[in-house]
Structure 1
Amino acid sequence: MTRIFYLGGHFVQFRSQFKKQHILLISFLLPVIIMGSYFAYRSMAPFGQNSLLTVDLGQQYIDFFSYFRRTLLHHPSEFIYSFSKGLGGEMWGTNAYYLWSPLNLILIFFPAAHLSSGVLVLTLLKYGLSGLAFAWLLTKTKLQTGIRILAFSTAYALNGWIVANQLNLLWLDAMIILPLVVWGLHQVIFARKFACYICWLTVMMLDNYYMAWMICIFTILLFIWQLPLINNWRERLWAFSRYIIASLIATGISCIVLLPTIYTLLQSKGTYTNNHIRNRFEYNPLKLLAKLVPGSFNFNQMPSGQANLYVGMLMMFGLGLYVLNHHINLRQRILALLITIFFILSFCYEPLDLLWHIGQFPVWYPSRFSFIFCFWTILLAATCLQKDFQPEKWQLATLLIITLAIFAYVETLTVSYINNSQKLIGLGIAIISIIFLAIPHAASPNLNNLLLVLITVCDVSTSAYTALNQISYVSQTEFGQYTTALNNATTKIKNSDHGFYRIAKTFMRTKDDPMQSGFNGGDHFGSTIVPSLPTFMGAIGQPAGDGFVSYDNGTQVTDSLLGFRYTMAVIDPNRSTPFLPLSGYRPDWNTQVPVAVTNNIGIRKNKDTLPIAFGANSRILSLSHDTYDPVAYQSEIFQDLANSPQPLFEIQNFNQVDFQNVQSAKQITGTVFQKEQKSAGATVKLEFTPNSNDSYYLTVGPNVKDDASITVNNRHFSQYQTYRDTIVMNVAHHQKGQKVVITFHLKHAELWMQNVSLYRLNQQAFNHDLKTLQRSPLKLSHASATTLKGKVNIKKDQGVLMTTIPYDRGWHAKIDGHPVKCQKAISTFLALKIKPGTHQVTLHYRPPYLITGMIISALSLLAAFFLIKFNVRHQ
């Protein structure tokens, strides 16, 4: 039976040269073969010793994938909350952004050390499904038929956005689902059917709310574009009503994820939303013309740059010809032109850019919505470039003139991501494409169809290869060896101690190592981290930022407070490079009890720690952060917890200071040292001899890292380099009478010795306060990611059960079976007011608004069922 479908202002009759299923299969396989061949050529695992891991994929997502695999197989409760996320954090909203793609289930079949191979398979699958989804849309709409479909589906699957963002695997599902949502919307508007649209929009919202927001905006534009095809305003209002109702139902079904996620965002990422929108262009829109050259992308375009929108010369010409094609409804062409202009403005006009990105400027990867513009361009091209469409000479001449003008302009630009070869290749493909368009299809239909596919496939493949050749990647050996070593070490600890504790280390591949290997740590890098945690970690001298925390600069005090019962350090740093990159230096761990050695990692047990919850003095509830000195703040916290008047740290003087090629100074901290001879090396040496075996710590302000490198006794001080607060460095422990020389080597003409001071830990005072706090531990009888149960004996001078669980409204507490209100201590942690005596305590975590979301989702599912059933009866 012949079916007729109306879109783009004219009828397209369906005549297939190939069986539909064959075209769909090839549309999937073609991008897979093209990109798979490239990955094999680059020796990407499993084809060789390289990997696809780079930037965020190598520094963040791969660890989340490992967490996903482990949690799904062994610890499902960690899908709700995990103590591997910094000191602890919700995961329901985090997973909604990173991990709810059903395609991630493929990763179950790849062990941790070979997860990079799973990433490659997953990437290829998403390339293939993108092509399949667009081909499916074309077959359903009958815009194109037969082998011609492959030109448009491959251009979509290998567009400039997906190539530039293949490392952002969590976004790529949007490429697959977008064509399905578009077909569903068309069904809502013209066929009055709801199932497809509600289903796929719901899937998109559950899969990744961030990209779903962009697709929702596009559905509005798409609806507007379709208005001229609806006969009268009454029908348009009914169509609009159907669109709104279906969209609201899809949103309602998604509330089980959306509501808890929105709450999470408001507590974390949403706090950085831009409230001051400037009426300005972020860059000259003409710079976008450079992106019309094949392969116009490199590493420098990741943090900041223009939208990646290359879809092949024929597709871009198809967009232009759509606007010029008088066979298409004039009002629809005008709307298409306005929507295209809206997209272009969105790439560079700040208010529109923020609209697409939910009110926040992207941190790296600008114009994240440009995949929709790629889809839009190819959809219009597919609508215009029909078999029977023959461009007029003036139209081709217009294309040629515009093309020459664009390449002439690009020639005047100085950009790092385009070379002369790319310009020549791009111009050559453009001219070939114009010649192809000038040839009548009727002259040789089969050859014409084949040329359409060949030109497009060669065009976008060349662009993809060129772009990816400019990116460097982590080797499989580097990833695999580190992962194996870390997993072996943490497994040793877990096998010997099944309790609840945290693990600290002085080496790091990424800040999500705890999620990679499944242990409770103090590191995390993710967009949903609550701001109070980085603030606290920075205040106690740790590297921290808006989206990360890293426990590299602990002291005996913070180790004890935060419950780091086990420590891991590289035994022989020279033998470990580069597979165990150092991130800290902790000689105060040397006197801890050795536990094991594995893969050059020494494991020790710290007996001077506090449990996850313990009895403390009520003073801690009123402590405010009124000092920028991290060691003073650590002391204040411990003193208030133990109700002790004795400070834990004492400032120390240096025995000798040596200045080389800089001016002398009586005071070190706060002084700006300047080179006397600009071209010569310069140093400031600080010497002291410990008069006790206590731990000694040096504080260093964040500006120092940019202007100096530090050595301790001629050994490079290993330090994680990204931090914004004053950090604490352990420079001596158990070294009484041994001279310690700290040398600052100037990198530039001057050095500001910001907050550089030396402190000694008063071991006796610390031991006294620790013993006081260890009197009332919460003895756990049950511990999981979401539930902690135990007994505690609170003393008379204690009125608070203090925890080192980051405060979250999702935590609910009961004491002796009675609900109690959770308090926030130190503006960071959960605490409970409690009376002296023995008590049973239960802490349970449930994502805020999860129950509300479940109810709304259930009601919306019911509404969808009745809507679809009622609609079927009245068709």
Structure 2
Amino acid sequence: MKKRTWIFAGFLAGLIFFIASWIGGTNFLMGGTIHSGDLINQYISFFASYQHTILHDLSSISFSFSNGLGGNTAGNWGYYLLSPFNFIVLLFPTKFLPQALYTVILLKVMVASASFCWMTKKLHHLADPWAISLAIAYSLSSYVINYIGNLMWLDAIAFLPLLVVFVVQLSKGRFSFPYIWLLAITIVANYYTAYMVCLFLVAFFAYQVYLNTSTLKELIKNSSLFILASLTAGAISGVSIIPTAFNLLENKLNYSLPNPNINFFHIWQELPASVLFSTRSLQLPLRLQLPLCFVGTITLFLAICFFFNGRIALKTRLASLFLCIFTASGLLSEKLYLLWHGGQPPVAFAYRFSFLITFIIAFFASYQLANNISRNNLKISISIFAIFLVIYYFRSSKLLLLNSTDCILVLVFSIISGLLIFIYYKNKINAWIPAIFLIFEIFSSATIFWNNVKQPSVKITDYIAQTQSFINQLPKSAKTDRLAKSFLLNDNCGESYIFNYRGAEVFSSNNDPKISEFYSLLGLPGDGYFYFYFSSTQLTDALFDIKAFITTNRLTGYTEGFKNYGLRNDLANNKIWLKNKQNVAYKCNTFPIAFAGYKANNLRLTANHPLENQTRVLNSLTNSKHTYFSKPITAQVTSDNLITKTSKKQLSYQVKKKATPSSVTFTYTAKPNSVGYIVLDNNQLYNYSKIFKITLNNQLLNINSVTYQPLGISVPKNGKVTLKFQMGERNEKGNLFIPQLYLLNKQSLNKTISYAQKNQLKLSKWTNNQVEGTINIKQGQSLITTIPYTTGWKAFSDGKPVKVGKALNRFIALDLPKGKHKITLKHTMPGLKLGIVISVLGFIVMISEYLIIKKHQKKQL
């Protein structure tokens, strides 16, 4: 163990993580579920795409029609999928992706522990007990325990200690090729946390140069080596960074996110709660979230001792203090907070840079253990630590509404930790005793936290297997175009990745905001990073080429995390592709993916009028003047235990008797066996499950309340449709937009669809990165598609390049002369060629650096 302590530290951290997550219910290998981050509602689908792309279809490496309606995938690769650990995923079948991702997380934790242990041995020559315990504390800090679901952030944590060792070498004038390689890997693995690491490494290098450099010549030389090595690493990573940057400039960086709602004055009053024993849950409002800085009470105590240790040079301690202030500067102001997050405030999971704070606390704890401390300095440190406890009890605990159990645990672990360190420095106990207690505290923190957020296990494996089986049984012709569903597990609208079909939904931070906005205008849930296809109609099915739509009779909650959204009873009379006991796949009549039509770039759509907008879009693209919906049918309003008043389209209500069931019912009389849509106002239905229980003809609804949305209905034989709102306990008064029923004119819709089909692009090839076919264009027409416009597409007509334009200002369109044309659309990842060139140049520079340094060393010999 003396020679390979770091290996032991890695395996021990892995064992502790495995046991704590098993007890806490977050161990996928033992039937648990990780509920932190977006693992189960986003990342599993991305890794399914990773598997499919690497093993089966390289055409989707740059563009994928499983990415919503279709999208550039460079941002997904650069943010989620390029970690070297991810190759492990290729060893698991798709239905076992949760287990694969847990294995990846477990290995990253082990590497983080091993690398920190190796660093403490290399820089501070720590004894085994301390090297192992601090390594475990770092690898299982509150940041890791809370954010394990964001597995793409863990690479930076795993590699940071090694990078620090190599930066120390550079600060002393020794060129480090491992630094170049590892920094390049860190950047490729996840550009976001790599950006934070790079900021920190610049400060850490300045800190080391200040301590280790005595002449201006040395300063210039060592700084040049650091800059040269860092730029070389950045160049080598160009193959990933350049395409990702192109994608971000087109999508993510176009978002205008609200500034963080953080009171930075309160943060410093609450800070003791973030560095002492941690059991807090991320399921708190953003204003109550804290930077996740707990890395063990003993670790914190030792870090305090470092700054009051008179046996360490004052110059060193002052420089270290400035490094700490810089690392924690994101807690000082909004501008510095945004700086650490790359200029954009996090939508959730505040203080994402705080893994650097946990590192710096553990680093200076290690530094302290490499030095002794006087009795007086130890007393001062104890006093400072006591002040932390006082602030915690009289300020932090009240501001954060902490319960007595949390406070007692903090007190117990703090007192025992302080006593153990005091006795240890009195040379009365072996180092293994406080070290083992530190490991026990870290284990306890992880276990308690995971038990606090534990939820019933989600049957992800069973769901994937069952749904995949149904989709596989669909006729081949049902899967040639796009497919959509009314149900999801864990709101994962990337299931098209998992089941490998051309979809109409996405949840990604690299999503095109123009498509989300367009969805919202059409009555489909769309906002910023996501768009769903729940509240669809036969018009949107036609527009987006949804050839098959799958519904289910399984109710929301039949298994943990399952939700049956929206309502597509308007498909009840459609032909059926496939049916079993649980699911029905309906056949939809649609536009082709591309046809000869009209670009409609000047079309104006009005918010909160989804059916009108759908009509305008279809008519504009086909130059039609059809009416697809009847005039609104007004409901007869009845109520129970309510005082109601109707004014124009609004209904105001007030409960008569509290604790008595209250409801309002809208009854519509319509043509029997017809289909139509009732439009609901999302502003009144936000968090509707807490306010209303809504049923349509006694069918319970589950709604994603993002926009005005239509509910598909099938009028029964008696011609009666009833929409009932049952008020919740706290819903004693309010206003309701009176929903109206619109019947679908199927004949008019079929005429418009027939027009598009007669003018379709007759496909000869359709892959993720290429579309080919022939089309006949009439005077004034253009080639219209519902492929989202993005850079990287090139178009050819009869072998000659054609400019790629837009339809509806969002989708690919081509202006073509009258006549018959052979069309080819090809997509290549924007920036990929430039990235490859830069990476190759980076490798050449690195080899040149190696040869020059080797030649210089020979001359010195």
* TM-score when normalising by structure 1: 0.91
Determine the structure 2 residue equivalent to 1:770. 753
The answer to whether residue 112 in structure 2 is matched with residue 130 in structure 1 is yes
Taking the aligned partners of 2:36 and 2:564, their CA distance within structure 1 comes to: 20
Task: Encode CA deviations 1:233-269: one digit per residue, 9 max, x unaligned.
Answer: 3322222222222222222222221122122222222
Identify the match of residue 864 of structure 1 among 817, 842, 846.
Answer: 846
Note if contact 1:318-1:385 (Cα within 8 Å) is conserved in structure 2: yes
- In the TM superposition, residue 142 of structure 1 has moved relative to its aligned partner by 4.4
Identify the match of residue 740 of structure 1 among 721, 724, 728.
Answer: 721
- In the TM superposition, residue 831 of structure 1 has moved relative to its aligned partner by 1.0
Taking the aligned partners of 1:672 and 1:268, their CA distance within structure 2 comes to: 42
Determine the structure 2 residue equivalent to 1:524. 506
Q: Which amino acid aligns with 2:670?
A: P
572 and 135 in structure 1: CA distance in 2 versus 1, 3 angstrom threshold: closer
What's the secondary structure of 1:432's corresponding residue? helix
The correspondence of residues 731-810 of structure 1 with structure 2, limited to 5 A, is 731-732=713-714, 735=716, 737-747=718-728, 748-754=731-737, 756-794=739-777, 796=778, 799-810=781-792
Note if contact 2:267-2:290 (Cα within 8 Å) is conserved in structure 1: no
- In the TM superposition, residue 554 of structure 1 has moved relative to its aligned partner by 1.0
Question: What RMSD in Å do the two structures reach over aligned CA positions?
Answer: 2.5
667 and 645 in structure 1: CA distance in 2 versus 1, 3 angstrom threshold: farther
The correspondence of residues 369-448 of structure 1 with structure 2, limited to 5 A, is 369-386=353-370, 389-412=371-394, 413-414=397-398, 418-439=402-423, 443=427, 448=430
- In the TM superposition, residue 511 of structure 1 has moved relative to its aligned partner by 1.5
What's the secondary structure of 2:294's corresponding residue? coil
Identify the match of residue 457 of structure 1 among 439, 451, 465.
Answer: 439
Note if contact 2:196-2:353 (Cα within 8 Å) is conserved in structure 1: yes
396 and 683 in structure 1: CA distance in 2 versus 1, 3 angstrom threshold: same
The answer to whether residue 681 in structure 2 is matched with residue 701 in structure 1 is yes
162 and 806 in structure 1: CA distance in 2 versus 1, 3 angstrom threshold: same
- In the TM superposition, residue 29 of structure 1 has moved relative to its aligned partner by 0.7
Identify the match of residue 356 of structure 1 among 318, 340, 344.
Answer: 340
655 and 417 in structure 1: CA distance in 2 versus 1, 3 angstrom threshold: closer
Note if contact 2:650-2:736 (Cα within 8 Å) is conserved in structure 1: yes
Identify the match of residue 669 of structure 2 among 689, 700, 703.
Answer: 689
The answer to whether residue 460 in structure 2 is matched with residue 484 in structure 1 is no
Determine the structure 2 residue equivalent to 1:253. 236
Determine the structure 2 residue equivalent to 1:180. 162
Taking the aligned partners of 1:664 and 1:187, their CA distance within structure 2 comes to: 77
- In the TM superposition, residue 513 of structure 1 has moved relative to its aligned partner by 1.6
Taking the aligned partners of 1:117 and 1:714, their CA distance within structure 2 comes to: 40
Q: Which amino acid aligns with 1:35?
A: F
Task: Encode CA deviations 1:14-37: one digit per residue, 9 max, x unaligned.
Answer: xxxx4322x122111111111112
Determine the structure 2 residue equivalent to 1:656. 636
The answer to whether residue 327 in structure 2 is matched with residue 343 in structure 1 is yes
- In the TM superposition, residue 384 of structure 1 has moved relative to its aligned partner by 1.6
Task: Encode CA deviations 1:731-772: one digit per residue, 9 max, x unaligned.
Answer: 235x46521111223331334334733222222221211111
Determine the structure 2 residue equivalent to 1:646. 626
The correspondence of residues 559-708 of structure 1 with structure 2, limited to 5 A, is 559-571=541-553, 573=555, 580-598=562-580, 600-606=582-588, 608-618=589-599, 620-626=600-606, 628-654=608-634, 656-667=636-647, 669-677=649-657, 679-691=659-671, 693-706=673-686, 707-708=691-692
Determine the structure 1 residue equivalent to 2:9. 27
What's the secondary structure of 1:649's corresponding residue? coil
Determine the structure 2 residue equivalent to 1:162. 144
The answer to whether residue 213 in structure 2 is matched with residue 230 in structure 1 is yes
Taking the aligned partners of 1:81 and 1:662, their CA distance within structure 2 comes to: 54
The answer to whether residue 215 in structure 2 is matched with residue 205 in structure 1 is no
Taking the aligned partners of 2:361 and 2:103, their CA distance within structure 1 comes to: 28
Determine the structure 1 residue equivalent to 2:351. 367
What's the secondary structure of 2:454's corresponding residue? coil
- In the TM superposition, residue 459 of structure 1 has moved relative to its aligned partner by 2.2
What's the secondary structure of 1:20's corresponding residue? coil
Q: Which amino acid aligns with 1:496?
A: K
The correspondence of residues 312-323 of structure 1 with structure 2, limited to 5 A, is 312-323=296-307
Taking the aligned partners of 1:507 and 1:563, their CA distance within structure 2 comes to: 19
Taking the aligned partners of 2:285 and 2:727, their CA distance within structure 1 comes to: 31
The answer to whether residue 496 in structure 2 is matched with residue 496 in structure 1 is no
- In the TM superposition, residue 437 of structure 1 has moved relative to its aligned partner by 3.2
* TM-score when normalising by structure 2: 0.93
148 and 742 in structure 1: CA distance in 2 versus 1, 3 angstrom threshold: closer
Determine the structure 2 residue equivalent to 1:815. 797
- In the TM superposition, residue 662 of structure 1 has moved relative to its aligned partner by 4.1
Taking the aligned partners of 1:522 and 1:838, their CA distance within structure 2 comes to: 30
168 and 647 in structure 1: CA distance in 2 versus 1, 3 angstrom threshold: same
Taking the aligned partners of 2:251 and 2:374, their CA distance within structure 1 comes to: 56
Taking the aligned partners of 1:669 and 1:284, their CA distance within structure 2 comes to: 46
Q: Which amino acid aligns with 1:132?
A: A
The answer to whether residue 500 in structure 2 is matched with residue 546 in structure 1 is no
What's the secondary structure of 2:535's corresponding residue? coil
Identify the match of residue 515 of structure 1 among 497, 500, 514.
Answer: 497
Taking the aligned partners of 1:65 and 1:417, their CA distance within structure 2 comes to: 39
Taking the aligned partners of 1:520 and 1:97, their CA distance within structure 2 comes to: 22
Identify the match of residue 833 of structure 1 among 808, 815, 819.
Answer: 815
Q: Which amino acid aligns with 1:584?
A: G
What's the secondary structure of 2:100's corresponding residue? helix
Q: Which amino acid aligns with 1:236?
A: L
> Runs of 5+ in structure 2 lacking a partner?
none
- In the TM superposition, residue 344 of structure 1 has moved relative to its aligned partner by 3.6
Taking the aligned partners of 1:306 and 1:699, their CA distance within structure 2 comes to: 41
Note if contact 2:548-2:587 (Cα within 8 Å) is conserved in structure 1: yes
Note if contact 2:243-2:831 (Cα within 8 Å) is conserved in structure 1: yes
Note if contact 1:668-1:753 (Cα within 8 Å) is conserved in structure 2: no
The answer to whether residue 16 in structure 2 is matched with residue 64 in structure 1 is no
Note if contact 1:625-1:826 (Cα within 8 Å) is conserved in structure 2: no
Identity %: 27
The answer to whether residue 266 in structure 2 is matched with residue 289 in structure 1 is no
Note if contact 1:485-1:599 (Cα within 8 Å) is conserved in structure 2: no
Taking the aligned partners of 1:589 and 1:583, their CA distance within structure 2 comes to: 15
Note if contact 2:115-2:161 (Cα within 8 Å) is conserved in structure 1: yes
Provide the aligned length of Structure 1 versus Structure 2: 845
Taking the aligned partners of 2:665 and 2:261, their CA distance within structure 1 comes to: 48
- In the TM superposition, residue 497 of structure 1 has moved relative to its aligned partner by 2.9
Task: Encode CA deviations 1:491-521: one digit per residue, 9 max, x unaligned.
Answer: 122x633863111211111222212211111
Task: Encode CA deviations 1:391-418: one digit per residue, 9 max, x unaligned.
Answer: 2222222232233332233223236685
Note if contact 1:689-1:736 (Cα within 8 Å) is conserved in structure 2: no
The answer to whether residue 516 in structure 2 is matched with residue 534 in structure 1 is yes
What's the secondary structure of 1:864's corresponding residue? helix
Determine the structure 2 residue equivalent to 1:855. 837
The answer to whether residue 101 in structure 2 is matched with residue 116 in structure 1 is no
Note if contact 2:310-2:377 (Cα within 8 Å) is conserved in structure 1: no
504 and 488 in structure 1: CA distance in 2 versus 1, 3 angstrom threshold: same
Taking the aligned partners of 1:222 and 1:38, their CA distance within structure 2 comes to: 33
419 and 872 in structure 1: CA distance in 2 versus 1, 3 angstrom threshold: farther
- In the TM superposition, residue 531 of structure 1 has moved relative to its aligned partner by 0.5
